[in-house]
């Protein structure tokens, strides 16, 4: 307040006080938490709102309309609500983010000089769009000398027409050449669908520098595991969730001659031939199993199908009848069954859901035996589970536990490589072979018959893996296998020689160091030429020198490396060699490229 110093009156003092109080009140009402030292969202730049909304929608595949929901806007920042973008602006923002991320990927991939592998899979989104997902696998060198295996989504393409092999190949070409990595692709991993086979053949015609078509096609082992496990169960047509359980059991009873040999996986166009069977199990062995007197044995193949149908009837009853569910849970508590007191309903396309169902049946079997007899909340008599059914469920769980463990391993990013697959397949073959032979009568004939189809399918993919040039080279470069694996596996000498020749051809073509110019020395004096034995000694010395300078021969001549009798992690061992500066004459980079294949 401006007033003369000679004026000592108190006039206008109340008005001055009221003005100051109003100013303080306005300051407090317009301040935010940050002004008082409370950290939070702080102020949001209105220009950032479209980007924030686009990220929120894309990270969890949320619809744009979710932002306009009134209840949702009540928990949003006032700045976001005030500057909420329209759907068209959100769509444009998503495209801008997508383009920016692609540019960053392009720069990263162009600077990558090692091998890359493609992964492809097609599926249908919940809103009905057919999508082709393309993934790139590579070995990334980080700061501090660290190396990690990376699986990075490359692109997602909406498929506009039928998924023919030619159309998929053209789509893959557009994606790969958009990022300029066509000359770095050393292989592709997909499932074994017939259109993928055509796609790989068509991609060979593109004449990419390092992609040679079918010889570099890697079958997805997780998909193979799923097929083998499903082949042990019923036909996919019998496992549809909407099938009536009574009709399923009726079909089995009407066809007593069904031996269960038609449990193949039709989707993959698999033709199972007896020639694909393992050497230790001949056709006579399988014929002996088929000729067993199963009429007097509870565990026939048809009975095995009926048992699984009964289990599905239990799961369906508990899901659709709340009163039956309450009665069942109460019985589980009274009889001390382990939690959870529920039976999972299986899905025909996911064998692990059937495993979860079997585990639930075994866990709550005491309560099931009592609950199913309840006339009001239980099951029809034809669906009643017997003790023999519980026994079969236990056997199935023991078989499928190995499949489940392997599925977890191959589903972990960077944990399963090409050289690991042969160990996994051998484990499956040993398991199914023991079940079929009936060692110690551990497994009933029903399960042994079911395992026959699984073994045939396993041997089919075992043969495809063994015949893969990429796999052979990976085994040669594995410190625990080399060429000794082929000898132990009983490969013919011609096959072993071919595997070594494939390894040498790849080394000489892409990885062999360029010869260095010899140092300049004083010219030697002319000497009298050697003849006879002396000349032969000189030739032998020169040959030995060439042999010692051959990195591949030196590698094969060195001993095998094992970890307490088990194979070591090959990729980890080669990475340690890189840190130590040991290039093994050029084999180092070749091993890193091959062993990093998915």
pLDDT tens readout for residues 45-74: 888 888 889 888 888 778 888 888 888 888
What pLDDT is stored for residue 251 in this prediction? 36
Q: To the nearest whole percent, how much of the chain has pLDDT over 90?
A: 11
- Alpha-carbon gap, residue 346 to 211, rounded angstroms: 40
Q: Which residue has better confidence, 258 or 352? A: 352
Q: Which residues of 232-260 are buried (b: 16+ CB within 10 A; e: fewer)?
A: bbbbbebbeeeeebeebbebbeeeeeeeb
**Helix, strand, coil % over all residues of the chain, rounded to 5:** 60, 10, 35
Band (175; pLDDT cuts 50, 70, 90): very high
**CA angle in degrees (0–180, nearest 5) for 589-592-593:** 85
Band (378; pLDDT cuts 50, 70, 90): confident
Q: How much is the average pLDDT of 395-412?
A: 87
Structure-token match 């039956």, residue found = 324
Nearest to 232 by CA among 411, 474, 431, 33: 431
Question: Hey, where are the domains in the chain?
Answer: 42-111, 113-219, 226-466, 469-514+549-595
pLDDT tens readout for residues 33-50: 556 665 665 678 888 888
Q: Say if residue 107 is exposed, middle or buried (CB neighbours under 10 Å; 0-12, 13-18, 19+).
A: exposed
In angstroms, how far is CA 185 from the centroid of its own chain?
19
Strand order in the sheet with 116-124: 147-158, 130-141, 116-124, 185-190, 217-219
Band (258; pLDDT cuts 50, 70, 90): very low
Band (501; pLDDT cuts 50, 70, 90): very high
Q: How much is the average pLDDT of 301-310?
A: 78
Nearest to 348 by CA among 379, 320, 309, 394: 309
Q: How much is the average pLDDT of 84-97?
A: 87
Phi-psi sector, 242: left (phi>0), alpha (psi -120 to 50), beta? alpha
- Alpha-carbon gap, residue 27 to 513, rounded angstroms: 75
What pLDDT is stored for residue 278 in this prediction? 36
Reply yes or no on whether the pLDDT at 569 is more than 50.
Answer: yes
Q: How much is the average pLDDT of 378-404?
A: 88
What pLDDT is stored for residue 345 in this prediction? 85
CATH, domain range 113-219? 3.30.420
Band (536; pLDDT cuts 50, 70, 90): low
What pLDDT is stored for residue 414 in this prediction? 64
Alpha carbon dihedral 485, 491, 495, 501, in 10-degree steps, equals 20
In angstroms, how far is CA 112 from the centroid of its own chain?
24
Per-chain mean pLDDT for the chain: 78
Contact 435, 447 (CB under 8 A): yes
Question: Residue 94, SS3?
Answer: helix
Contact 408, 354 (CB under 8 A): no
End-to-end CA distance of the chain: 80
Q: What are phi and psi of 263, to 5 degrees?
A: -95, 35
DSSP, res 210: S
Reply yes or no on whether the pLDDT at 179 is more than 70.
Answer: yes
Q: Which residue has better confidence, 293 or 536? A: 536
Nearest to 354 by CA among 364, 344, 362, 339: 344
Contact 309, 252 (CB under 8 A): yes
Q: Which residue has better confidence, 420 or 398? A: 398
Reply yes or no on whether the pLDDT at 194 is more than 70.
Answer: yes
Bond into 340 cis (ω within 30): yes
Secondary structure element (H or E) that encloses residue 87, with its range: helix 87-110
What pLDDT is stored for residue 440 in this prediction? 61
What pLDDT is stored for residue 199 in this prediction? 93
Nearest to 560 by CA among 474, 485, 491: 485
What pLDDT is stored for residue 118 in this prediction? 93
- Alpha-carbon gap, residue 294 to 438, rounded angstroms: 14
What pLDDT is stored for residue 271 in this prediction? 36
Reply yes or no on whether the pLDDT at 384 is more than 80.
Answer: yes
What pLDDT is stored for residue 296 in this prediction? 37
Q: Which residue has better confidence, 220 or 302? A: 220
What pLDDT is stored for residue 30 in this prediction? 61
Q: Which residue has better confidence, 253 or 49? A: 49
Q: Say if residue 154 is exposed, middle or buried (CB neighbours under 10 Å; 0-12, 13-18, 19+).
A: buried
From the DSSP assignment, how many helices (H) and strands (E) are in the chain? Answer: 24, 7
Structure-token match 């090409």, residue found = 418
Q: Say if residue 70 is exposed, middle or buried (CB neighbours under 10 Å; 0-12, 13-18, 19+).
A: exposed
Reply yes or no on whether the pLDDT at 152 is more than 70.
Answer: yes
Q: How much is the average pLDDT of 549-554?
A: 87
Which segment of 47-51, 395-399, 517-521 scores lowest on mean pLDDT?
517-521
DSSP, res 378: S
pLDDT tens readout for residues 111-135: 888 889 999 998 887 778 899 999 9
Band (169; pLDDT cuts 50, 70, 90): very high
Reply yes or no on whether the pLDDT at 170 is more than 90.
Answer: yes
Give the predicted TM-score (pTM) of the model: 0.69
Question: Residue 118, SS3?
Answer: strand
Question: Residue 187, SS3?
Answer: strand
Q: Which residues of 110-125 are buried (b: 16+ CB within 10 A; e: fewer)?
A: eebeebbbbbbbbeee
Q: How much is the average pLDDT of 483-498?
A: 84
Q: How much is the average pLDDT of 22-34?
A: 67
Q: Which residue has better confidence, 134 or 535? A: 134
Q: Which residue has better confidence, 558 or 251? A: 558
Which segment of 148-157, 226-235, 554-563 scores lowest on mean pLDDT?
226-235
Q: How much is the average pLDDT of 72-100?
A: 87
Band (298; pLDDT cuts 50, 70, 90): very low
pLDDT tens readout for residues 239-249: 333 334 334 33
What pLDDT is stored for residue 41 in this prediction? 58
Band (549; pLDDT cuts 50, 70, 90): confident
């Amino acid at each position: 307040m401006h007033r003369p110093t000679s004026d000592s009156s108190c006039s206008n003092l109340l008005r001055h006080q009221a003005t100051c109080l109003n100013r303080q009140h306005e300051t407090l009402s317009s301040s935010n938490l940050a002004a008082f030292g409370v950290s939070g969202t702080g102020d949001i730049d209105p220009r950032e709102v479209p980007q924030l909304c686009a990220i929120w929608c894309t990270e969890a595949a949320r619809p744009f309309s979710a932002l306009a929901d009134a209840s949702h806007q009540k928990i949003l920042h006032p700045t976001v609500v005030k500057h909420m973008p329209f759907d068209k602006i959100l769509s444009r923002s998503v495209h801008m983010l997508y383009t920016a991320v692609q540019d960053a990927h392009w720069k990263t991939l162009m600077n990558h000089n090692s091998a890359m592998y493609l992964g492809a899979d097609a599926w249908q989104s919940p809103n009905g769009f057919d999508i082709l997902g393309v993934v790139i696998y590579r070995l990334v060198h980080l700061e501090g000398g660290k190396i990690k295996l990376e699986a990075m989504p490359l692109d997602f393409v909406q498929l506009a027409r039928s998924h023919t092999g030619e159309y998929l190949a053209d789509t893959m070409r557009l994606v790969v050449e958009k990022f300029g990595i066509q000359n770095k692709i050393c292989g592709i991993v997909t499932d074994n669908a017939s259109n993928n086979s055509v796609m790989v053949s068509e991609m060979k015609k593109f004449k990419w520098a390092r992609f040679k078509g079918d010889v570099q096609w890697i079958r997805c082992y997780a998909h193979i595991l799923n097929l083998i496990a499903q082949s042990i169960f019923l036909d996919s047509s019998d496992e549809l969730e909407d099938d009536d359980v009574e009709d399923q059991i009726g079909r089995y009873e009407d066809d007593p001659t069904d031996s269960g040999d038609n449990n193949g996986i039709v989707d993959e166009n698999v033709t199972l031939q007896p020639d694909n069977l393992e050497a230790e199990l001949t056709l006579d062995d399988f014929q002996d199993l088929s000729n067993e007197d199963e009429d007097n044995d509870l565990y026939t193949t048809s009975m095995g199908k009926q048992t699984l149908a009964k289990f599905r009837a239990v799961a369906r009853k508990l899901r659709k009848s709340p009163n039956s569910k309450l009665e069942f849970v109460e019985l589980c508590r009274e009889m001390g069954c382990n939690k959870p007191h529920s039976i999972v309903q299986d899905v025909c396309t996911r064998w692990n859901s059937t495993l979860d169902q079997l585990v639930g049946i075994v866990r709550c079997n005491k309560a099931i035996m009592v609950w199913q007899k309840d006339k009001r909340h239980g099951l029809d008599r034809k669906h009643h589970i017997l003790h023999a059914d519980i026994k079969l469920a236990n056997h199935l769980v023991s078989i499928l536990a190995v499949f489940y463990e392997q599925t977890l391993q191959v589903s972990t990013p960077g944990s399963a490589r090409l050289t690991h697959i042969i160990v996994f397949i051998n484990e499956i073959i040993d398991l199914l072979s023991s079940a079929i032979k009936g060692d110690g009568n551990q497994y009933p004939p029903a399960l042994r018959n079911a395992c026959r189809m699984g073994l045939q399918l396993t041997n089919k993919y075992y043969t495809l893996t063994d015949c893969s040039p990429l796999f052979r080279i990976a085994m040669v470069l594995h410190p625990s296998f080399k060429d000794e694996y082929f000898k132990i596996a009983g490969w013919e000498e011609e096959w072993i020689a071919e595997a070594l020749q494939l390894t040498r051809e790849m080394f000489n073509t892409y990885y062999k160091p360029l010869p260095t110019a010899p140092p300049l020395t004083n010219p030697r004096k002319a000497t009298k030429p050697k003849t006879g034995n002396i000349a032969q000694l000189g030739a032998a010395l020169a040959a030995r020198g060439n042999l010692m300078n051959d990195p591949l021969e030196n590698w094969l001549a060195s001993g095998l490396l094992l970890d307490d009798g088990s194979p070591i992690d090959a990729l980890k061992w080669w990475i340690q060699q890189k840190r130590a500066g040991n290039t093994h004459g050029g084999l180092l980079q070749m091993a890193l490229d091959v062993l990093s294949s998915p």
